[in-house]
Amino acid sequence: MLGSNPQGKGRILPADALAVAEAATHLRNGGIVAVPTETVYGLAADASNANAVAKIYAAKGRPDFNPLIVHVPDTEAAEAIAHFDDVAAALADRFWPGPLTLVLPVKDDAKIAPAVTAGLGTIALRCPAHPIMHALLLASGLVVAAPSANRSGGISPTTAAHVAASLGDAVPLIIDAGACRSGLESTIVAVRADGWQILRPGPITAAQIQAVLGTPPLGQSGKGIEAPGQLASHYAPAKPVRLNAATATSGEWHIGFAAIAGDENLSASGNLAEAAANLFAALHRADASDRLAIAVAPITDQGLGVAINDRLLRAAVR
Ligand code: AMP
Ligand code: MG
């Protein structure tokens, strides 16, 4: 009925009730689907089903030491999976639904496939704000593991076309709700007995979190990599990336910001939210351009700019 491909591979469906119902059935049957969220497109599977979760790792080519974020419809569902202390409860209360992921101690009886947490004693939980992802969680009655819907290590997808280009037939169904509003992956915060720590900067800033909690973040733990957002190379285009480039050479595709026009501009007015929403699409276009390299104008390193520069730094490491 929907689409003509007999295998049902890689179909892109407009985001409506029919698509949500079909995706929910697919998830309940242990399949994977690509879904829009307010951050980037996610590749979703039933978090309690080991076979389904294995399909995410296979489709992405994701290393199995890299755990997944579990998406829940509400705080109650999250509390069935992880231990919430006062700090975690305050953050969920203030920022959910929204682009904040909490890393919390996982409960012994949580119905979560072991591969989701990659053997850690903690689990990453998020309650997404996007109406389609929310509708899918309700329609399926599941909590879903959903990393970004791209091949591991590549640029995150902010449109359905990005998902199709990166994953191709590895994903049978993509729900298309247009470009993601935020355009950057969620902020990841670890809540520990002695305080809180940002594992990955994102749309919700450290200052916003500190304003709720009243205490500054802990420094780097030195415990090694906890979130692969912390891996040096991630979100990487195929071409070399040069940062803080006020000008570009003829061989470079120049991504501008504010007064630096470039071949395209993340935000001519210097608006960081607009720049964040445009960032990954700009990197995709730069990668697809006929130039051999990419140069990026300096981006203000404050507020949302911290998360943008975090992604750019990792894009520049090869
Ligand atoms: P992605 O789903 O591609 O946005 O990546 C998910 C991020 O969440 C990765 O950086 C993971 O390492 C991180 N993550 C998931 N679970 C945990 C956990 N239990 N502790 C720390 N980081 C986690
Ligand atoms: Mg990712």
H/E/C letters for each residue in the chain? CCCCCCCCCCEEEECCHHHHHHHHHHHHCCCCEEECCCCCCEEEEECCCHHHHHHHHHHHCCCCCCCCEEECCCHHHHHCCECCCHHHHHHHHHHCCCCEEEEEEECCCCCCCHHHHCCCCEEEEECCCCHHHHHHHHHHCCCEECCECCCCCCCCCCCHHHHHHHHHHHCCEEEECCCCCCCCCCEEEEEECCEEEEEECCCCCHHHHHHHHCCCCCCCCCCCCCCHHHCCCCCCCCCCEECCCCCCCCCEEEEEECCECCCEECCCCCCHHHHHHHHHHHHHHHHHCCCCEEEECCCCCCCCHHHHHHHHHHHHCC
What value does the mean pLDDT of the chain take? 93
Predicted confidence at residue 2, as pLDDT, reads 42
What does each C-alpha distance from 211 to 32, 133, 187 come to in angstroms? 38, 28, 15
pLDDT for res 228:
52
Q: Quick one: pLDDT at residue 226?
A: 61
**How many CB atoms are located within 10 Å of the residue 194 CB?**
6
Q: Is 200 in the pocket of ligand 1 (CB under 6 A)?
A: yes
> Residue 219: which pLDDT band, with cuts at 50, 70 and 90?
confident
Q: What's the pLDDT at 313?
A: 93
The residue-averaged pLDDT of 169-198 equals 96
Gap between the Cα atoms of 4 and 11, Å rounded: 9
How far is it, in rounded angstroms, from Cα 146 to Cα 167?
14
For residues 44 and 34, give the distance between their C-alpha atoms in angstroms, rounded to a whole number.
6
Q: CB atoms < 10 A from the CB of 39, how many?
A: 29
Question: What's the average model confidence in pLDDT over 306-317?
Answer: 94
Name which of 308, 307, 207 is nearest 296 in CA terms.
Answer: 308
How large is the average pLDDT for residues 42-59?
A: 98
Share of the chain above pLDDT 90, in %: 86
pLDDT for the residue numbered 232:
63
For the CA of 40, the closest atom of ligand 1 is 4
Instruction: Indicate the pLDDT class of residue 222, thresholds 50, 70 and 90.
Output: very low
pLDDT at 64: 84
Other C-beta atoms lying within 10 Å of the C-beta of residue 191: 24
**Would the pLDDT of 148 be above 80?**
yes
Per-residue model confidence as pLDDT tens digits over 244-267: 999 999 999 999 999 999 999 999
Give me the mean pLDDT over the 259-276 stretch.
98
Tell me the domains of the chain and their CATH numbers.
11-213 (3.90.870.10), 241-316 (no CATH)
Does the CB atom of residue 106 touch ligand 1 within 6 A? no
Position in ligand 1 atom list of the atom nearest CA 101: 8
Report which bound ligand comes closest to the CA of 68. 1
Q: What are phi and psi of 312, to 5 degrees?
A: -65, -40
Confidence of residue 208 (pLDDT cuts 50, 70, 90): very high
**What pLDDT was estimated at residue 9?**
57
Give the pair of three-digit tokens for residue 113.
């496939």
| Mean pLDDT calculated for residue range 113-132 | 96
What is the percent of the chain with per-residue pLDDT over 70, rounded to a whole number?
A: 92
Could you identify the atom of ligand 1 that is nearest to the CA of residue 66? 12
Q: Is the CB of 122 under 6 A from ligand 1?
A: yes
pLDDT of 206 strictly over 70: yes
197 Cβ inside 6 Å of ligand 1: no
For the segment 166-187, the average pLDDT, to the nearest whole number, is 96
Confidence of residue 237 (pLDDT cuts 50, 70, 90): confident
Q: What pLDDT is stored for residue 220 in this prediction?
A: 61
